[in-house]
Amino acid sequence: MNTTNFSLEFPLNFSEIRKLNKMYFEHLFKQHIIFVSILVLLLLIFSDLSNVNLEDDFFLWLIRSLGIIVFFVIIENSFIDAVSGIVFQIAKRLLRFKKLNRRYKFVFTNSTVCIRFPLGRLTHKWTTIEKAILTKNFLFLYIKEENNYIISISRKDYDYRKMEELLAFVEQNVIHIIKV
């Protein structure tokens, strides 16, 4: 097999989409919310700093900023969980539309594993694969990163030749596949 031209694409089935939404995209979405909320917090603190006379009110500004940070940390987790819950309830309802389901795909190339979804894509290098396990019905790829992920690929829903080509590529070029 020529690895320079290796490229496979698999559409995701409904159960794979649900698993990825729960494990992968929910975490990614939470990271975006945290980033935006930290920016808002910093904006509040620095806008308050611009209105303070540093010689007279610095200590009061410092206490007020510390109070804002503590309040922010306390309510941030509940806010993030509430917003994530709402978004993923909407996502579950949107998965009923076949047109949207077709936009979820695994794309494997010689250097990356890519997951395409309606809001963008996530890409991992093959070097982040820690373990590959093959069962009767699934291929599991364990990705080692900041938060470990498991990508499951159903063997029964895809063209047999494509799946065998993916298995051969992983075995020869990435990592030994553990067969269970």
What per-residue confidence (pLDDT) applies to 53? 75
What per-residue confidence (pLDDT) applies to 157? 61
Write out pLDDT tens, residues 11-53: 777 667 767 666 666 666 777 778 888 898 889 888 887 877 7
Is the per-residue pLDDT at 160 higher than 70?
Answer: no
Nearest-5° Cα angle at 25, 19 to 31: 145
What per-residue confidence (pLDDT) applies to 85? 74
Which pTM value belongs to this model?
0.61
Write out pLDDT tens, residues 72-101: 888 877 777 777 777 777 766 766 666 655
For the chain, give the percent of residues with pLDDT over 70.
Answer: 77
Top pLDDT among 40 and 156 is at 40
Mean pLDDT score across all residues of the chain: 77
Is the per-residue pLDDT at 105 higher than 50?
Answer: yes
CA gap 72, 70 in Å, rounded: 5
CA gap 48, 63 in Å, rounded: 12
CA gap 111, 55 in Å, rounded: 57
Angle between helices 54-94 and 26-50 (to 10 degrees): 160
CA gap 131, 99 in Å, rounded: 33
Instruction: Note whether 152 and 138 are within 8 A (CB).
Output: yes
